[in-house]
Amino acid sequence: MVSEILNSIFRWLHVVAGIVWIGHLYFFNWVNGPFQTTIDGETKKKVNPELLPRALFWFRWGAAFTWVTGVLLLLLVFYHGGITLEPGASWGALSITMVVLVFVAPFIYDPLCGSVFKDIKIAFWGGWALATVFACAMAWVASFSYRGYTIHLGTTLGTIMAFNVWFRIWPAQQKIITAVKNGEAPDAALVALAGTRSRHNTYMSVPLVYFMLNQHNVWDTNPIHLSIAILVGWALVYHLYDRAAQVKGF
């Protein structure tokens, strides 16, 4: 009874916080980004120090609550509920390693972005390949159940995204907004960092939503279909970026 109540509360808070977080992510990328190209420096000096800190407040705390409630659901539903692994499988070094990789993923992703994945095409295909290998390893090597490897792949993306928000986008934006407010040119490297990580989060968010919603639907237990879902999701995001640039004000 207690587990069911907690499940309902955590799930409710997780979805509400996720709406706040991802809604602001899409606002920044598909509304604010194109809008910023239409205003001059003086207007930015007046508008951005008032608008962006407010939006970034809900953005970063939405990310925090989404991640925390997601981990609580993972602990309650999957670990306490015993559905992470295939029936009859037991925890061992391989399965534990997979779980550890979920939560250390940002510390693998971050240096890769500063070295091997600097080129956007390499980042695209490299990220897709790593996600595919990870899903297959969980399913075929570590005996994760369909629900188990689907939600853990989603948690990996969500953990990287939350890391980006708190340790890359928010610190960079604090300095960028302060510079704009003071009438100074913001550091180009910080602008590039915040923009790149925000775009990465946007691309990761669409497959993440698929994994969250479809980990219940066991219509195909082959992890390759998750790999296909990532490509389809990224193609959709690419199209929406193109569409966002074409939307104009009155």
CA distance 18 to 49: 25
CA distance 18 to 25: 10
Span 181-212, pLDDT tens digits: 999 999 999 999 999 999 999 999 999 999 99
79-94: average pLDDT: 96
CA distance 59 to 28: 10
The pLDDT score that the predictor gives to residue 216 is 78
Token pair 């610190």 is found at 171
Q: Where are the domains of the chain?
A: 2-246
Give the distance between the most distant pair of CA atoms in the chain.
Answer: 65
128 confidence band (pLDDT: 50, 70, 90): very high
In this prediction the pTM is 0.96
138-143: average pLDDT: 96
83-90: average pLDDT: 96
Mean per-residue pLDDT over the chain, rounded: 95
Share of the chain above pLDDT 90, in %: 93
147 confidence band (pLDDT: 50, 70, 90): very high
Angle, alpha carbons 168-109-180 (nearest 5°):
20
The pLDDT score that the predictor gives to residue 1 is 80
CA distance 22 to 211: 15
47-68: average pLDDT: 97
CA distance 145 to 132: 16
